[in-house]
Amino acid sequence: MSDDLKQRALAYHAEPKPGKIATAITKPCEDQNDLSLAYTPGVAAPVREIAADAEMAYRYTGKGNLVAVITDGTAVLGLGHVGALAGKPVMEGKAVLFKRFADIDVFDIEVDAESPQAFIETVARIAPTFGGINLEDIAAPHCFVIEKTLIEQLDIPVFHDDQHGTAIIIAAGLLNAIELQGKTLENVRIVCVGAGAAGIASMRLLATLGMPKQNLTLVDRKGVVHSGRDDLNEYKQEFARDTDERSLADAMDGADVFIGVSGPDILSVGMLKTMAAKPVVFALSNPDPEIRPEQALAARDDLIMATGRSDYPNQVNNVLGFPFIFRGALDVQARKINAEMQIAAVHALRNLAREPVPQAVLDAYGLESLSYGPDYIIPKPIDERLIDRVPPAVAKAAVDSGMARQAYPDCYPKI
């Protein structure tokens, strides 16, 4: 980070008042009558209704539009285990995105927990406050246990965005990219570098969408995840292959797809040149990708490439997903965000990229034209059509799969 950017970022967060979020009052509170309704004695009426029927909390409180963004500070951005409090600027930033893109209210919560179990117990105890929980920046492998346990214990959506948000955006972009390259998910060979939360969740989702696991090679810091290793946790073992490949270079020879959720400069030009014809490279390490687009495109003119950065085409950005996925889930008071809802989000995003791009999007990015193709495989985050496409798809999937407390909203398009 340059000194200039650092100073501007610090000023942005400090002035004119510290932080990025605040609360707001949604009802009149101007006179004695308003006060008697907002608090005592009038507030006793909704209290009694909720005591008699807990579902009335959705009618009489802000629960139904309130998400908790919660971290333990163990995997904050690329900074690692910086602690719960140091993760607060990121959680506030997530709150800004929820509100800006989907009008969802957020309380950011930083939990100083001494163990995964302590974190789980804390979140479970405060869960009645919320309509949904977004887990954020929790290190693997604890994040898998934490999310699974909370999903089992709670009756509101629990969604670890570093896992499923990333997976959904990767899947949407990848389905389009491999189609443009004349291939299918069922017959491509995929190499994924990074066996943490994002990598494991992405591979699970791709398998659900039809990718044969035998066509995937997972690579971690020690090399290929293969069945002969005795140092694999249960999550890596799920993708261990019986193979003679040991290094990333071995795995890349003849591969159709590279997905990087690891670190900078992992993929060399030499490795890229050994990939199959018409390859796809998702180099998603931020801010420095596994291989620079300039290098990759100079080496392979038949390549489709995506990164996590906004200054290159095909940005894989979680803001395309989580605000709109939660919007759809909240609007039908979903109990969970299940696989059907995630797949619905994948296809909604995938299909939107195939439609004509509005002028407002072109103007926002300083472009004269943009259409579905190698440089546009996934919608831009600023595309205002996202709110009209993704939430209805997620809500319908929730209703159809039995996850919804409420019917599909009348205000949504019939899909």
Active site residues: 39, 94
Which one, of 399, 390, 413, lies nearest residue 343 by Cα? 390
Tokens of 75: 């995997």
What is d(CA 302, CA 304) in angstroms, rounded to the nearest whole number? 7
Q: What is the SS3 assignment for 172?
A: helix
Indicate the burial class of 297 (C-beta count within 10 angstroms; 0-12, 13-18, 19 or more): middle
Which one, of 295, 78, 297, lies nearest residue 196 by Cα? 78
Q: What is the SS3 assignment for 312?
A: coil
Peptide bond connecting 289 to the previous residue in cis, omega within 30 degrees of 0: no
Which residue stretches of 284-321 are H helix? 293-299
Which residue stretches of 29-74 are H helix? 32-38, 44-52, 57-60
In sequence order, the β-bridge partners of residue 304 are 280
What is d(CA 313, CA 298) in angstroms, rounded to the nearest whole number? 15
| First and final C-alpha spacing in the chain | 45
Q: Cβ(180)–Cβ(350) under 8 Å?
A: no
Which one, of 387, 319, 320, lies nearest residue 94 by Cα? 319
User: Which 8-state DSSP code applies to residue 213?
Assistant: G
